[in-house]
């Protein structure tokens, strides 16, 4: 349901229009994108009323936040991809084959409100990768299979809500059909015990694989390892197989040498799905050097920028403006066509997690991560963050074409080449 202002005439209009939307949902061709555009059209009808706030629209009843018509149009008309956003950061139930302990009737732990948040976010595609672990490679492989299977089950349980993204054609479909796209990836390729495992996981639906997490594996070295020896011989074979079969190589958590080696080894664009600029956060191992960013662009890749506080800026204050500085930096160095979004948070962010789960999450990282009291950045720590980001890019003078590229078209271009086989 949509309201433009918290005033009774608009609430009444919103109520009746909301009733119409509920009826429209049952008609052929209904999509959440059409619903948003129709709702925005309501604002256009009553713009003559004296209490309308100069083209600012309150998009959802659940928030008082207002967005410009231009920002709403850009998000609703674009393919919007968040190249690192798990459906939930609370993964306490994964071992049971569910997302979390908040079980509902579907048996997968997702509530109706969570599903509605995905629909309303404006995000068409969620890359849901996490870093899997285990005491050895076999356990890592089992853990990875469990995580992939969880999402395949989720999609099967909710075919009216979710669809798996397997190809560029699916990116086109999900932009039109109003479903929430799930792009299956993993943040550690330790589950590739043999080269044949690349094809095994491809057949299970995996389309993106980060070569390493923060530690060393048989492929290369992670960003917080003391020494980085680069891509191993086995790693070369894995990348070659990924190129051949059409699985994207991701180096977001890889060490500096492993990152640079990957650009030389891969014959297809290499992605940095979720990272930030080290020159703006000096010394942080999870951020990429200018050398790596330039090499990424040279090979046709795209870099998704995270909204994690300690990656964006090393000290306080850290605001959405500092997050936007990251976009400006990449634009000026390698061009807008190599920029995307990889927020590295779910729709609500880390700071909304329980104290116990937040403490457990932080304990898994070295001091070099430089955590502060807060992990999220106000303004990009909520389900409608893509609208806030778009408003910021508009204010900084980015063109409509460039904003649409950042929101998803740039990653789509890279996937068009990567997934061709």
Query: What is the residue-level pLDDT of the chain in tens, covering all 421 positions?
Result: 222 223 333 332 332 333 333 344 444 454 555 544 444 433 332 222 222 233 566 655 556 688 999 999 999 999 999 999 998 887 666 555 555 444 343 556 678 888 899 999 999 999 999 988 778 889 999 999 999 998 999 899 899 999 999 999 999 999 999 999 999 999 999 999 999 999 999 999 999 999 999 999 999 999 999 999 999 999 999 999 999 999 999 999 999 999 999 999 999 999 999 999 999 999 999 999 999 999 999 999 999 999 999 999 999 999 999 999 999 999 999 999 999 999 999 999 999 998 988 898 899 999 999 999 999 999 999 999 999 999 999 999 999 999 999 999 999 999 999 999 7
Q: What is the pLDDT of residues 311-340, one digit of tens each?
A: 999 999 999 999 999 999 999 999 999 999
31 dihedral zone (left: phi>0; alpha: psi -120 to 50; beta): beta
pLDDT at residue 251, as a whole number? 98
Q: Which tens digit of pLDDT belongs to each residue from 154-183?
A: 899 899 999 999 999 999 999 999 999 999
Q: Which residue, among 123, 251, 244, 241, has the nearest Cα to 185 in the 3D structure?
A: 251
**Which residues is 272 bridged to in the sheet?**
303
Q: Nearest 5 degrees, angle CA 206-CA 211-CA 214?
A: 120
**What's the gap between Cα 184 and its chain centre?**
11
- Mean pLDDT, the chain, as a whole number? 85
d(CA 248, CA 242): 7
Compute the 3-state secondary structure of the chain and give helix, strand, coil in percent, each to the nearest 5: 45, 10, 45
d(CA 326, CA 272): 14
| pTM given for the model | 0.85
Task: Report d(CA 179, CA 284) in Å as an integer.
Answer: 37
- Give residue for tokens 């209490």: 51
């Amino acid at each position: 349901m949509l309201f433009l202002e918290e005033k009774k005439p608009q609430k009444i209009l919103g109520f009746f229009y909301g009733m119409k939307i509920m009826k429209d949902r049952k008609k052929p061709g209904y999509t959440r994108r059409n619903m948003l555009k129709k709702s925005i059209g309501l604002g256009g009808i009553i713009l003559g009323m004296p209490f309308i706030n100069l083209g600012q629209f309150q998009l959802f009843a659940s928030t008082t936040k207002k967005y410009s018509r231009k920002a709403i149009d850009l998000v609703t008309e674009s393919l919007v991809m968040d190249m690192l956003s798990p459906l939930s950061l609370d993964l306490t139930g994964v071992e049971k084959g569910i997302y979390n302990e908040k079980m509902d009737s579907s048996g997968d732990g997702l509530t109706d409100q969570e599903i509605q948040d995905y629909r309303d976010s404006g995000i068409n595609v969620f890359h849901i990768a996490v870093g899997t672990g285990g005491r050895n490679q076999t356990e890592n492989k089992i853990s990875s299979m469990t995580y992939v299977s969880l999402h395949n089950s989720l999609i099967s349980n909710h075919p009216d809500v979710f669809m798996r993204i397997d190809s560029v054609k699916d990116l086109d479909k999900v932009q039109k059909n109003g479903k929430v796209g799930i792009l299956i990836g993993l943040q550690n390729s330790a589950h590739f015990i043999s080269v044949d495992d690349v094809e095994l996981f491809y057949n299970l639906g995996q389309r993106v694989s980060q070569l390493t997490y923060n530690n060393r594996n048989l492929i290369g070295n992670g960003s917080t390892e003391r020494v980085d020896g680069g891509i191993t011989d086995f790693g070369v074979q894995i990348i070659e197989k990924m190129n051949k079969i059409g699985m994207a190589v991701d180096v977001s958590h890889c060490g500096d040498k492993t990152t640079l080696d990957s650009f030389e080894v891969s014959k297809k664009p290499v992605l940095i799905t979720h990272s930030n600029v080290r020159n703006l956060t000096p010394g942080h191992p999870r951020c990429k050097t200018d050398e790596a960013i330039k090499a990424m662009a040279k090979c046709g890749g795209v870099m998704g920028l995270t909204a994690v506080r300690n990656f964006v800026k090393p000290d306080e204050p850290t605001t959405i403006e500092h997050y936007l500085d990251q976009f400006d930096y990449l634009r000026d160095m390698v061009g807008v066509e190599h920029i995307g979004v990889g927020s590295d948070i779910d729709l609500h962010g880390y700071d909304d997690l329980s104290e116990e789960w937040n403490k457990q999450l932080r304990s898994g990282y070295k001091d070099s991560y430089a955590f502060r009291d807060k992990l999220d950045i106000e303004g990009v720590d909520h389900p409608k963050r893509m609208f806030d980001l778009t408003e910021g890019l508009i204010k900084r003078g980015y063109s409509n074409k460039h904003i649409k590229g950042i929101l998803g078209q740039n990653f789509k271009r890279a996937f068009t080449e990567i997934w061709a086989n």
